[in-house]
Amino acid sequence: MARSHNFSAGPTALPMEVLTLAHEEFFDFAGTGMSVMEISHRSEVFMEVAYQAEQDLRDILQVPGEYKVLFLQGGASLQFAQVPMNLLGNKRTADYLHTGLWSGKAIEAAQRYCDVRIVASSKASGFDRIPDVSGWNLNPTAAYLHYTENETVHGVQFVDAPDGPAPLVCDACSSLLSKPIDVARHGLVYAAAQKNMGVAGLTVVIVDPALLATAQVFTPDLLNYARSIDAQSMLNTPATFPWYLAGLTLKWIKRSGGLEGIHRQNQAKAELLYRTLDNSDGFYRNSVQAPFRSINNLPFVLADAGLEKAFLRRAEQAGLNGLKGHASVGGMRASLYNAITLQAVEALTDFMKGFARVHG
Ligand code: PMP
C-alpha cells in the first residue's frame, strides 16, 4: 500500500495506528457484530466511547473539573456565531484580536451580534506577527476577549495566551492538542477535529459554565451551550463516527507522550522546515516574524513565483501532497499536524533542496 505524505491544512493525515485500529474494528465493534457507525448513540456501547473520549481529552489537556466539554457539529466556523450568542449576556461588546484570515472571519460573524472592538490588528504588516501587547486596546467591560491561537492561513501563532480583564475565548482549531495549553486561563476553547483530533464533522468546545449567561433569545436550542451541556452533547444525533475517531486519536496522543511529547516532535518538524527555508539563499521565503512562526502551518513562497506550478506538480509526483497555499494568499503551505511524521518532513525538505538545486 502506497501512502502519500499529506501536508494539507485539514482534513489531513490520521495517525497510521488510528487508521489501523478503525480498520480492524470496522465491521464488528466491541463484539456487537455492528460497525460503530451502525449503533445507536444512546446505546451503552456508544455511551462508553463518548465518555472515554471526554475523559481522555480532559486528562490530556488537564481540563479543570468544573469545566464542561461538548462534542458538537457545525465546524469551528459555527463557533464564530455560537460564542457571542451564548457569552454576551447583557453586555453589548466583545474584544477581538485580529491576526489573520480566521480571526477576521470570527470578527465578521460576531459583528452581527455585538459591537466588536478590535484590540489590535497586524493587517497593516500583512499578518506577519502577533501585535505587540503594548499597543493593545483592551476594554475592561467586554463580555470576552477572542483570539485565534494559530492562524492556519498566515502561519502566525501566539507564544503565550493573551492576558486581559475579560474572559478569554480561544479559537484553537489548528493547534489544540499540538502543544500544551493552560485551559484554566480560558473561559472557552474551541476546535474542529479535522486537524489534530480526527476527522471533519466534530467540534469540541471546552467551557467554564460560570460564563454561560442567558443565551440570546433567538438562539436555537442546538446552539445553546447550556442545553447541550444538560443533554451531554446529545440534544440530537451527534457525529458518532468522528467522535469515535477522536477517541482513538486521543488514546494515540496519550501513547505518544501526551502533549509534551507531541509538542517536542512538532517543534522538531517545524524547525527542520524553517531551517530549510531560511538556508535556501532566498529561493524560498517565509515572512512571519521569528517568535510568531507557527509550528502547525508553514506558508512559504518561491522567489520566482513562476516556478510555483512546477514545484507543486513535481512535489505531487514525489508523493508530497496538499502543499498549495490558501487561495487568499497563494504560494505554498506545509501543515505539520500531529500525525505528520518527521520522516515525511525530511522527505519534503529533501525534495525542496533538490528542487532549489535544479532551479536556483
Ligand atoms: N478557525 C481556524 C483557525 C481554522 O483553521 C479553521 C479551518 N481551517 C476554522 C476556524 C474553521 O473551521 P471549520 O472548517 O471546521 O468550520
Span 282-304, pLDDT tens digits? 999 999 999 999 999 999 999 99
Residue 322: CA count within 13 A, CB half-sphere: 19
pLDDT value, residue 159: 97
Please give the Cα distance from 74 to 79 (Å, whole number).
8
Q: How far apart are the CA of 270 and the centre of ligand 1, in A?
A: 21
Asked whether 265 lines ligand 1 (CB < 6 A), one says: no
Q: Looking up cell 479543570, which residue turns up?
A: 64
**149 and 181 Cβ atoms separated by less than 8 Å:** yes
Domains of the chain with CATH codes:
16-255 (3.40.640.10), 256-359 (3.90.1150.10)
Q: How far apart are the CA of 11 and the centre of ligand 1, in A?
A: 10
Asked whether 171 lines ligand 1 (CB < 6 A), one says: yes
3-state helix, strand, coil in the chain (%, to 5): 40, 15, 45
pLDDT value, residue 1: 77
Q: Looking up cell 489544540, which residue turns up?
A: 176
Strands (E), the chain: 5-6, 68-72, 93-98, 115-121, 145-148, 150-151, 156-157, 168-171, 188-192, 203-207, 284-285, 297-302, 320-321, 332-335
Asked whether 175 lines ligand 1 (CB < 6 A), one says: no
The mean of the pLDDT values for the chain is 97
pLDDT value, residue 99: 98
pLDDT value, residue 302: 97
The C-alpha cell of 341 is what?
511524521
Please give the Cα distance from 343 to 351 (Å, whole number).
12
- Residue of 77, 83, 149, 169 with the most ligand 1 atoms within 8 Å of its CB, for mutation: 77
pLDDT value, residue 345: 98
Give the residue numbers marked as catalytic. 102, 171, 195
pTM for this one? 0.98
**Cis peptide upstream of residue 238 (ω within 30 degrees of 0):** no
Among candidates 178, 220, 193, which has minimal Cα distance to 71?
Answer: 193
Asked whether 76 lines ligand 1 (CB < 6 A), one says: yes
Helices (H), 157-239: 225-230
Low-confidence ranges of the chain (pLDDT < 50): none
pLDDT single digits (tens) 30-70 = 999 999 999 999 999 999 999 999 999 999 999 999 999 99
pLDDT value, residue 237: 98
